[in-house]
Structure 1
């Protein structure tokens, strides 16, 4: 048996098991990841994040050719033991973990570049949380979304934020609250690698003091319904802005069951980026025997 020292972290209710393996010597098996994420027999989490130096993992070594300052790689795995490209809440918690562990020591206004399977993401520590530049985004294929609790399938807008999302708008809060997301929604056509599915309703009024406000629930591939999804909140805001057309704001507030997140769209030389801001904290530390 192997003893794993870990930390438990969360960002708006999206929770993670984090551990340090600087030189990439202790990768976990999918079975061990599923054990750690099990809420009855393990620690309990939506995913596992291994803190590993970029040079020590093939995906990270490739990133260093593009961004030599991305010393650390976020090796993120879903609760079902499958790898994921990115996690918007997870990367904020990961940045907080790196700082708390003394693995990095950024100045207050310095950005921290972190390698992910979706490329390098820059994270900025602030007074009330962390902001991550999720980078460029793009529209993807539209799909029909069926879910338990909805009488008929609804159109869903596909978006790619480094990981795949399908966003569908609902008519009112009652529909949102009436969804049964203990069972996975179905998508038509079904994407080969699956997708996160977001269900969204606007607040009334939608725009308040120049900020657009929406509510969201999400079913994450490889996990199930979660209290929050960082890239999913960005996808939801982007979808609503796309549907609303010209005149829609670039600042958004997204309420999820686990709290509140802020999304901002902004221009860069390479095209429009989207950022995500919100809290991150470490809840406790411990040790556990791995099977």
Structure 2
């Protein structure tokens, strides 16, 4: 049966999403319907879909409430190909903006909004650039899978980083290499991960550090979405990998340039280990109604 989907289009540094409110968890789109909505020629177009649903009304939300009973809202995120994803760093900032602007939550300056995701509860705050999200503890997955991408002549080792979802970060020699990579094709990894992976290609600026802030450029191929103008968790993974490669004395604050803009990444200690945060803009672009078959 078809539905009329009342939606909002949002974006964070060009990473774009179709958002809709379904607090009671009554609208479950099929993978085919998600692909149709995200189609850039025949649908609204987007890198993914975000459903705003109360955590208590979703099976996956039970774990979020068990982790933090303040996580009233769950970010039910689906990639453009109809597959679910654990987390989305740009998407959660846009989701926070959506909840606030639609009067579903209130977030005063200095307050924290706890949001449930499949990757765990994430805390969001307002800041000067828009919103900042604590992505939680990160993990160095290690390993050096060989990564091949179209137009890159030689396979490169990738560094495994997990920030609630999996990433392989690849260092390139210069801007020309970064610009020449054709990410309309899925990068090939050896060994290939079972559940797919996000792949970031990174070039450091020269000098790498200015006024205590590390600076890198990045492009990304997101599993389930293809090349996107930005990937928030990917920016965090790229900064973490570059700090790892740079060694002792590398900064904990980074400026990450993506095709869609600039994101800020910061590493900081907590009682349960080092966390990484992501900051950047989050904008709602337009509202509409789409008939979904």
Aligned to 2:68: 67
SS at match of 2:244: helix
| Cα distance in 2, alignment partners of residues 125 and 240 from structure 1 | 27
Aligned to 1:54: 55
1:65 Cα deviation from its structure 2 partner: 1.5
1:128 Cα deviation from its structure 2 partner: 2.8
Aligned to 1:12: 13
SS at match of 1:58: coil
Q: How does 1:160-171 map to 2 (within 5 A)?
A: 160-171=162-173
SS at match of 2:60: helix
Change (3 A) 1:247 1:127: closer
Aligned to 1:25: 26
CA displacement, residues 36-59 of structure 1 (integer Å, 9 cap, x when unaligned): 100000000000000000000011
1:139 Cα deviation from its structure 2 partner: 1.0
Q: How does 1:33-182 map to 2 (within 5 A)?
A: 33-140=34-141, 141-182=143-184
Q: Which moved more, 1:121-130 or 1:65-74?
A: 121-130
Aligned to 2:4: 3
| Cα distance in 2, alignment partners of residues 184 and 66 from structure 1 | 35
| Cα distance in 2, alignment partners of residues 270 and 207 from structure 1 | 28
1:64 Cα deviation from its structure 2 partner: 0.7
| Cα distance in 2, alignment partners of residues 127 and 100 from structure 1 | 17
- Does the Cα contact within 8 Å between 2:129 and 2:279 map onto a contact in 1? no
Runs in 1 of length 4+ with deviation above 4 angstroms?
A: none
| Cα distance in 1, alignment partners of residues 197 and 125 from structure 2 | 27
1:236 Cα deviation from its structure 2 partner: 0.2
Aligned to 2:262: 260
| Cα distance in 2, alignment partners of residues 172 and 178 from structure 1 | 10
CA displacement, residues 201-225 of structure 1 (integer Å, 9 cap, x when unaligned): 0011100111000000000000100
Aligned to 2:218: 216
- Does the Cα contact within 8 Å between 2:55 and 2:62 map onto a contact in 1? yes
| Cα distance in 2, alignment partners of residues 108 and 23 from structure 1 | 28
| Cα distance in 2, alignment partners of residues 138 and 62 from structure 1 | 21
Q: 5+ unaligned residues in a row in structure 1: which ranges?
A: none
1:125 Cα deviation from its structure 2 partner: 1.3
- What is the Cα-based RMSD across aligned positions, in Å? 0.6
CA displacement, residues 59-115 of structure 1 (integer Å, 9 cap, x when unaligned): 112221220000000000000000000000000000000000100012111010000
1:252 Cα deviation from its structure 2 partner: 0.2
The total of aligned residue pairs comes to 291
CA displacement, residues 20-45 of structure 1 (integer Å, 9 cap, x when unaligned): 00010111110110001000000000
1:126 Cα deviation from its structure 2 partner: 2.1
| Cα distance in 1, alignment partners of residues 167 and 45 from structure 2 | 24
Q: TM-score, normalised by structure 1?
A: 0.99
| Cα distance in 1, alignment partners of residues 216 and 96 from structure 2 | 27
CA displacement, residues 181-218 of structure 1 (integer Å, 9 cap, x when unaligned): 11010001000001000000001110011100000000
Q: TM-score, normalised by structure 2?
A: 0.98
